[in-house]
Structure 1
Amino acid sequence: MLTIKEIAQRANVSRTTVSRVLNNSGYVSEKSRSAVLKVIEETGYVPSQHAQSLRTKKTKVIGVILPKISTETSSRLVKGIDEILSEAGYQILLANTNLAPEKEIENLRLLKSRHVDGIILSATNTEKELMEEIRELAIPFVAVGQNMPGFSHVVFDDYQAAKDAVQALIKRAHKEIAFIGVGESDPAVGVLRKKGYLDAMKENGLSVAASWVRTGIFDLESGRTCMKEIMESSEQRPTAVVAVTDRLAIGAMQYLKEIGLDIPGDLAVVGMGASELSKFITPSLSTIDFMIEEAGKEAAGIILIMIDKDVSNSIKREVEHRFLQRDSI
C-alpha cells in the first residue's frame, strides 16, 4: 500500500499538500490537486480509515437504533438515512432493540463506546431514564418518531393523521367507527393516534362505545384478536374500523373474512403506515402514508449539520403525511 510520502513523491508535491487533498482541508492549487488525484486514481490508493480517524477524531460512522430491524418501516427509514449519509462519506452501524425499552439504553451505550460520530434513534418511548441517558451522550443525537423537547427530532403529525383517517370514513357516511390501538408507552402511536380518533369522533358529534376501542401490540395476530373482541362484544356493531398500523388493520381484515363479512360492504377498514403489503392484499387497504423514507433523509441531514457545524441546539422537523384511498373503504 502506498504511503502519503510516496504519493507526494509521485505527484511532486509536499506531504502536507497530499494530506490537504485527502482531508479536503486547507488551500491547494488546482495544479497540485490534479497531480495528487491523478496518482490516487492510477494507483487505486485507499486511505486508512483508522489513520483518518486518528487525525480528524472522526470515525465517519453513524449509529442507527431501530425498534425492530426486520420491519418494512425500519427498512424504509434506513434507506432514507443511508442515501444522505453515504453521499457525505459516512457509513451506518445498525442496532436492534426488538421493541424492548431497556435495549434502547443498552444500544446507546454500546454505540457511544464504538466512538460513532452521531446516533439516530427510531424511538418508541420517552421515559425519563432514556432521556437522561441521551443527555449524557455528549455526541450529536436525533430521534425519529417521538417528540423529544431539548433534543433534535423528526416527527410525524400522528394526531392529525388519525383524525384524517376518521374523517375519510365520516365523509363516506360512517358513524359507528371502531379503533384498534397500541399501549400508551409509545406516545406517538399509542397516545396521539388514539386522541386523534377520539377528538375526530367528538368534533363530529359521534359517540364511541367502549366495546369499539381495543388495545393490541404491533403484529397481525393482535389485529385479528382485537377485531374479534370488537365484533363479539358490541351490541351495536361498527361499520368501520381504524387501526394505528397496517399490520393491525390487515389482521382485522383477516378476521372479518373468516366470519364471512364483506370489506368494505359490511365493514370498512383503514390502516396507517402505507406498507408494501397494503397495496397487494384483497381488497387493497386504505392507509396513511407517513413518508418514512423522507423522515430518514431529514434525520440524516440534521445529524450532518450537528457534526459539521458543531451544533448542540435541538433541531426539529415535521414530515408531512397523506391519506391513500383504496378499496377497503
Structure 2
Amino acid sequence: MVTIKDIAHKAGVAKSTVSRYLNGGSVSKKTKAKLDEIVNETGYAPNTFAQSLKAKKTNMIGTIIPRLDSFATNTILASIDEELRNKQYQLIITNTNQNVKREVENIYTLAKQKVDGIILLATVVTPAHRKAIAEVNIPVLLLGQSAEGLNTIVHQEYEAGYKLGSYATELGHKDFLYFTVLEEDQAVGQLRSKGVLEALKKNSDTTIEIVEANFSFSKAYEKAMNVLATTSATYVLCATDNIALAVMKAAHTLGLSIPTDFSLSGFGGYEVTSIVTPTITTVKYPYKQLGTLSVTNLIKLIEGEDSISNLELPNILVKRESTIAYENPSI
C-alpha cells in the first residue's frame, strides 16, 4: 500500500510538502506537476477519514433512526446513502430502538464525532431535543415530525388519513376498527389518526373502535389476536402497513377471511403489501424522495443557505384486493 512517505521519497520532497499538496495547500508549479505524475502512476488514494480529522469540514453526515426493522426507515436510509455518495459525503448511522433519551444522546454523540450535519428520523420532538439541537450548533434536519422553529421534511399525514378514511366510508362500511399508535407520535398518532377519524365520522351512524397498537409486528399481532376475536367491525384500518400485516396474520390464525369477514388497509406503501394475498390497500409514501430531499436540503444548510422551514410531501391511495364494498347480509 502506497503511503505519503513513499510519495515523498519518489518526489524527493518532505512529507509535509506532500501533505500540503494533498490538502490543497501552496506548493510550486514544478512540485505540483511532479506530485501529480507520481500520484497517477502509483494510484495513491489518501485516507479521507484521517484527513477529515484534521479538517474543519469532515464531509460526514450523521443519521439517527428509530429502529432497524422498518421498511420505511431502510428505504429512506438507502436513498440517503446513495445521494451522499454522489455528493462525496460519508454516512454514519445510529439506532435508538425508539428510545427518546437515546435520540437526544445521539445528537450530542454525533456532534462530538464532528459530523457536518445530522438527519434525525424522530419519534417525537421534546424540549430535550430542542435543547440538544441548539447546543450542538450544527445543522439538524428532522424527517417525519414537524416542529415549529426547526428544519423539517414531513409527509402530508392528515391528508393521508382523511383520504383513506373517506375511501372506507365510500365503500359503504359503517362499523370500523382503527389500530392507532401512541398519541405522543405527532405524525402518526395525532395527524394521521385525526384525518382517519374525521373522515369516518362524516356519517352520523358510524361506529368506531379505537385500539392502541405498536410499531412492532409481534406486539401488534398479539393485540390483534385479542381484538379480532370479538370485534364486529367490517373494515379494519391500521396506522401502518406493519400493523396491517400483523392483523392479516392474526386473521389467518383465527380462521377469518380478508376481505370477506372484514376489509383491511394500512399506511406506508411497503413493497410486501403488493406481494401478500390478498394484496393490501394502502397509502403510499415517497420514502425514496424523502431521503434524496433530506440530503439536498441538509447540504444547503451546511453551506449556509437559508433554513428550509417545513416541507410537506404528498402521498397516493393504492386500492387493492383487501378492501371491498360492504354488503348488508340482512338484505
Check whether TM > 0.5.
Answer: yes
Structure 2 residue 210 is the aligned partner of structure 1 residue 213? yes
Instruction: Map Cα deviations across residues 164-222 of structure 1 (whole Å, 9 max, x no partner).
Output: 112222232223222100011211111111111111112x3245535x11001112233
Q: TM-score, normalised by structure 2?
A: 0.85
Identity of aligned residues (%): 28
Is the CA contact 2:7–2:39 (under 8 Å) kept in the aligned structure 1?
Answer: no
Q: For residue 300 of structure 1, what is the aligned residue in structure 2? A: 295
The 2-side partners of 1:179 and 1:170 are apart by 13
Shift in CA distance, 263/314, structure 1 to aligned 2, threshold 3 Å: same
The 2-side partners of 1:40 and 1:208 are apart by 74
Q: Supply the AA of the counterpart residue of 2:184.
A: S
Shift in CA distance, 214/87, structure 1 to aligned 2, threshold 3 Å: same
Is the CA contact 1:76–1:292 (under 8 Å) kept in the aligned structure 2?
Answer: yes
The 2-side partners of 1:148 and 1:25 are apart by 42
Structure 2 residue 284 is the aligned partner of structure 1 residue 289? yes
Q: CA deviation at 1:53?
A: 2.8
Aligned residues: 317
Q: Supply the AA of the counterpart residue of 1:325.
A: K
Is the CA contact 2:217–2:242 (under 8 Å) kept in the aligned structure 1?
Answer: yes
Q: Supply the AA of the counterpart residue of 2:151.
A: S
Shift in CA distance, 241/38, structure 1 to aligned 2, threshold 3 Å: farther
Q: CA deviation at 1:259?
A: 2.9
Shift in CA distance, 142/269, structure 1 to aligned 2, threshold 3 Å: same
Structure 2 counterpart SS, 1:263: coil
Structure 2 residue 45 is the aligned partner of structure 1 residue 46? yes
The 1-side partners of 2:58 and 2:180 are apart by 41
Q: For residue 319 of structure 1, what is the aligned residue in structure 2? A: 313
Q: Supply the AA of the counterpart residue of 1:310.
A: G
The 1-side partners of 2:53 and 2:125 are apart by 35
Q: CA deviation at 1:316?
A: 2.7
Q: Supply the AA of the counterpart residue of 2:86.
A: E
User: Which residue of 273, 276, 300 corresponds with 2:271?
Assistant: 276
Is the CA contact 2:235–2:262 (under 8 Å) kept in the aligned structure 1?
Answer: yes
Q: Supply the AA of the counterpart residue of 2:73.
A: S
Q: CA deviation at 1:276?
A: 2.6
Q: For residue 135 of structure 2, what is the aligned residue in structure 1? A: 136
Is the CA contact 1:118–1:139 (under 8 Å) kept in the aligned structure 2?
Answer: yes
Runs of 5+ unmatched residues, structure 1: none
User: Which residue of 214, 220, 225 corresponds with 1:223?
Assistant: 220
Using the TM superposition, name which of 125-134 and 114-123 deviates more.
125-134
Shift in CA distance, 209/23, structure 1 to aligned 2, threshold 3 Å: farther
RMSD: 3.1
Structure 2 residue 152 is the aligned partner of structure 1 residue 125? no
Q: TM-score, normalised by structure 1?
A: 0.85
Q: For residue 236 of structure 2, what is the aligned residue in structure 1? A: 241
Shift in CA distance, 36/312, structure 1 to aligned 2, threshold 3 Å: farther
The 2-side partners of 1:4 and 1:302 are apart by 41
Matches within 5 A, 1:60-79: 60-79=59-78
The 2-side partners of 1:125 and 1:48 are apart by 38
Q: Supply the AA of the counterpart residue of 1:327.
A: E
Instruction: Map Cα deviations across residues 120-153 of structure 1 (whole Å, 9 max, x no partner).
Output: 1100001122222111120011011000221111
Structure 1 counterpart SS, 2:292: helix
Q: CA deviation at 1:39?
A: 4.6
Structure 1 counterpart SS, 2:283: strand
Q: CA deviation at 1:254?
A: 1.9
Q: CA deviation at 1:298?
A: 0.9
Shift in CA distance, 280/3, structure 1 to aligned 2, threshold 3 Å: same
Structure 2 counterpart SS, 1:136: helix
The 2-side partners of 1:102 and 1:194 are apart by 25
Structure 2 residue 272 is the aligned partner of structure 1 residue 258? no
Is the CA contact 2:61–2:119 (under 8 Å) kept in the aligned structure 1?
Answer: yes
Matches within 5 A, 1:141-152: 141-152=140-151
Is the CA contact 2:297–2:308 (under 8 Å) kept in the aligned structure 1?
Answer: no
Is the CA contact 2:66–2:96 (under 8 Å) kept in the aligned structure 1?
Answer: yes
Runs of 5+ unmatched residues, structure 2: 324-331
Shift in CA distance, 213/3, structure 1 to aligned 2, threshold 3 Å: same
Q: Supply the AA of the counterpart residue of 2:284.
A: D
Q: Supply the AA of the counterpart residue of 2:137.
A: A
Is the CA contact 2:57–2:116 (under 8 Å) kept in the aligned structure 1?
Answer: yes
Matches within 5 A, 1:17-36: 19=21
Structure 2 residue 67 is the aligned partner of structure 1 residue 59? no
The 2-side partners of 1:193 and 1:25 are apart by 53
